[in-house]
Structure 1
Amino acid sequence: MRKMRPVRGQGQYRRQYSDDPDQRLHGCEDEAYPYGYGKAEYIVAVVIYLFLFVIGIYILFDGARAILEGRRVTPCLSAAWGAIFSIAINELMFRQSVCAGAQINSPSITAKAWETRSDVLSSIAVLIGILGAKMGFHFMDPLAAIIVGVIILRVCVQQVKGAITNLMDGASEEEMDDEVREALRGVANVSDIREINSREMGQELELEIRLGVPKDITVSQGETIKHETKQAIREIIDRKLRITVMLFPVSCNA
């Protein structure tokens, strides 16, 4: 018989051992946090984007002040080569980080990538300013800084909104729900798809499926339905999943 032990501080129980891969303990789970630390990724992402937001405000106001004060700075061309080198290196790092973040669905890595992209945008502003100053257009440097600041602020607002939505267990996209429903229609003995709930858990997507099944099926048939349901979902969603399937009896003429 499988042992059950209480989750500290909660009136719930969870399995210490299980044959179901969706119920096995992951390496980051413990008694205090039975669902792991996936949500911490969104907290890290919010902190990074807030830091970038402050940088964006500084760049924006510094550029505006430079225009109002009429600053005239003519940098040397060696600074332009340094800006070009910085753009190339940081853009490469950005693309690699975004690819890694998308591959494992890590919000914190994606946030770090956008921090690198802000360095790219800043270097572009520096390059434009240097070239503009050399041509006699001294306002181009602060103007480019203002544009970069606005872009950084816009990205930060969008990404923070998404991170907070996931922290609050916001609803998933309707398109994904429709795909899941379509896949489950092929599972035998499923009379009704009552509810599909999902939430982001950092690198994992957690799904909770409630299905109506004939009330006269056996326990073995119920387990088969659960297995086929999970298999059908994994075939259409290519990412790390944690799936919970609950069955409810319905009459044949329901």
Structure 2
Amino acid sequence: MQRGERFNRADRVIKIGFWINAWLMVLKLAAGHFGRSEAVFADGVESACDFVGIVLTLVALKMGRKPFDADHPYGHGKVESLAAVFVAVIICATGLWILYGAAHTILDARYQDPRLIAVIAAALTIVIKEALYRYSVQVGGALGSPALLAIAKDHRKDALTSIATLVGVGGAFFGVGIMDPIAAGLTSFFILHIGFQGFRISAHELMDGQPATEEVAEIAALAAATEGVDRVHEIRARRSGQFLIVDLKLDMDPEMTVKRSHDIATRVKERIFERFSNVGDVMIHINPSDEPHEDLNRL
């Protein structure tokens, strides 16, 4: 997949989510206010918070696609993980806000009688948000984009929120008023969990944590199977936005000319690029295979 096509697909997912979220935000705020449901209105405020996350992601995708330069020799992809951290913080803050509001309502025992429009808004949100989640996670997984996967988690969080909201507003609609704030309070714990998970993954990427072991093992196996490579001495990888940056140490025949070893290293890199569209760069170090050697580093 070409670089431009990758970013175009990411843009499409974000823009679709942006406009649907806009419509749902207005719907839930109106339905919560005029339908007299604290849970649905809080759901609408939570959707408003989503806008901040989506805008941050749009900015991150635009910045992240900039090619490498003298100040950023590894590209600008890390900004996606940084945006994902901000989205996670927003999700956690929203969960705390909903939990506080629900607790306050229960302690004050000031329950409202919701109208049917609030029930319909909650049910409609579940269907739409789950569809957006599946679409976003499919594209985000294919592109290996942390920003898109963070947005996907946010869509799933909204769907879970609306399930609890529907139960609460439905129960209150049929006369059990306390169910509305209880549902909002329980939902806040789901929101906090999703926000924490998103923060943990994004922080791991910002700290150059090792990506999925299976993919790294596949890259190593492909390099080891290349003619002229005796074995893969070491492989490390880190994520930069939608791309992986791979460091390879290869053992080769010590009698090999510099040109021959260079050609083999180039072939290894070409094979990795052909097989893995999400690999942005491969840096290769060559070691002689006939003698033990100790890696020098200060990490």
Alignment TM-score, normalising by the size of structure 2? 0.68
Counterpart-to-counterpart distance in 1, 2:103 and 2:258: 70
Deviation at 1:106? 1.8
Q: RMSD of aligned C-alpha atoms? A: 2.4
CA separation of 1:131 and 1:154: change in aligned 2, threshold 3 A: same
Q: Is there any run of 5+ residues in structure 1 with no aligned partner, and where?
A: 1-25
Deviation at 1:115? 2.9
Residue 132 in structure 1 maps to residue 175 in structure 2: no
Equivalent residue of 2:167, what SS? helix
Give the structure 1 partner of residue 241 of structure 2: 202
- Aligned 1:91-170 pairs, distance under 5 A: 91-170=130-209
Deviations 1:137-172 (A, max 9, x none): 222222221221101111111111111111011123
CA separation of 1:111 and 1:176: change in aligned 2, threshold 3 A: closer
Counterpart-to-counterpart distance in 1, 2:189 and 2:250: 48
User: Structure 1 or 2: larger helix share?
Assistant: 2
Residue 64 in structure 1 maps to residue 103 in structure 2: yes
Aligned 8 A contact 1:214 1:252 in 2: no
Deviation at 1:177? 3.7
Deviation at 1:44? 0.7
Give the structure 1 partner of residue 11 of structure 2: none
User: What residue identity is the alignment partner of 1:187?
Assistant: T
Aligned residues: 229
User: What residue identity is the alignment partner of 1:35?
Assistant: Y
Counterpart-to-counterpart distance in 2, 1:198 and 1:175: 12
Identity score, percent: 31
Residue 36 in structure 1 maps to residue 40 in structure 2: no
Counterpart-to-counterpart distance in 1, 2:188 and 2:216: 37
Aligned 8 A contact 1:97 1:109 in 2: yes
Deviations 1:159-209 (A, max 9, x none): 111111110111234333433333333222323422111100111001010
* Structure label with greater radius of gyration: 1
Deviation at 1:71? 2.9
Give the structure 1 partner of residue 24 of structure 2: none
Aligned 8 A contact 1:197 1:209 in 2: yes
Q: Is there any run of 5+ residues in structure 2 with no aligned partner, and where?
A: 1-64, 294-299
Aligned 8 A contact 1:77 1:130 in 2: no
Counterpart-to-counterpart distance in 2, 1:155 and 1:178: 29
CA separation of 1:64 and 1:224: change in aligned 2, threshold 3 A: same
Aligned 8 A contact 1:192 1:213 in 2: yes
Compare 148-157 and 174-183 and name the one that shifted more: 174-183
Deviation at 1:90? 2.7
User: What residue identity is the alignment partner of 2:211?
Assistant: S
- Aligned 1:20-31 pairs, distance under 5 A: 27-31=66-70
Aligned 8 A contact 1:84 1:127 in 2: yes
Equivalent residue of 1:87, what SS? helix
- Aligned 1:203-218 pairs, distance under 5 A: 203-218=242-257
Equivalent residue of 2:77, what SS? coil
Deviation at 1:227? 3.1
User: Structure 1 or 2: larger strand share?
Assistant: 1
User: What residue identity is the alignment partner of 2:278?
Assistant: R
Equivalent residue of 1:170, what SS? coil
Residue 80 in structure 1 maps to residue 119 in structure 2: yes
Aligned 8 A contact 1:45 1:160 in 2: yes
Deviation at 1:253? 9.7
Aligned 8 A contact 1:50 1:156 in 2: yes
User: What residue identity is the alignment partner of 2:185?
Assistant: I
Aligned 8 A contact 2:95 2:191 in 1: yes
Alignment TM-score, normalising by the size of structure 1? 0.79
Counterpart-to-counterpart distance in 2, 1:36 and 1:107: 15
Residue 224 in structure 1 maps to residue 284 in structure 2: no
Deviation at 1:127? 1.6
